[in-house]
Amino acid sequence: EVLKSVPIAQREGAYALGATRYEAIRAALFYARTGIVGAVMLGFGRALGETMAVTMVIGNNPRVSASLFAPQYTMAAVLANEFTEAADELYLHALIEIGLVLFIITLIVNALSRLLIWGMARTGRRAARPAVATGRAAVA
């Protein structure tokens, strides 16, 4: 959707200036970079909170391993699997704290992505402004 929102004039202008197909794609990617970065960051924030799909894919093993390819446990999986079994009050409080940490991490990632999108859009607007003709001669 972000690449479809690049104005046709942007692409045609690149071709009119003699750009190759790859140079025109590069110009379109530069124009859509704010949306692309925002989509990646918001997708990452959403993946942090995903529970069941990640639990099934990652292996659902509570033992910690040094290998990245060994089955693991995520914070969301701990909450999903062990919240109903929390009989002790201390255990329940620990699970609630895990949920709070997960919430804070997700909130920080989403806030940083929105800040990044805002900053890139602000910088892009300033850099993309066309020069305004004032009718006066330029002073050297």
pLDDT tens sequence across 61-117 = 778 788 888 888 888 888 888 888 888 899 999 999 998 998 898 889 888 888 887
CA dist., res. 117 & res. 8, Å (int): 23
Residue 24 has pLDDT above 60, yes or no: yes
Q: Does 132 map to a domain? A: no
Residue 139 forms part of a structural domain? no
User: Considering the chain, what is the average pLDDT of its residues?
Assistant: 79
Q: Same domain, yes or no, for 103 and 87?
A: yes
Q: Are residues 46 and 106 in the same domain?
A: yes
Q: What span, in angstroms and rounded, lies between the C-alpha atoms of 63 and 71?
A: 8
Please write the tens of the pLDDT for every residue from 82-95.
Answer: 888 888 899 999 99
Which amino acid is it at 15? Answer: Y
| Domain containing residue 70 | 33-127
Q: Which of 51, 38, 45, 44 is nearest to 5 (CA)?
A: 38
Quote the number of domains for the chain.
2
Give the tokens for residue 134: 């004032």
Say whether pTM exceeds 0.85. no
Are residues 53 and 119 located together in one domain of the fold?
Answer: yes
Same domain? For 37 and 79 the reply is yes
Pair 38, 101 in one domain: yes
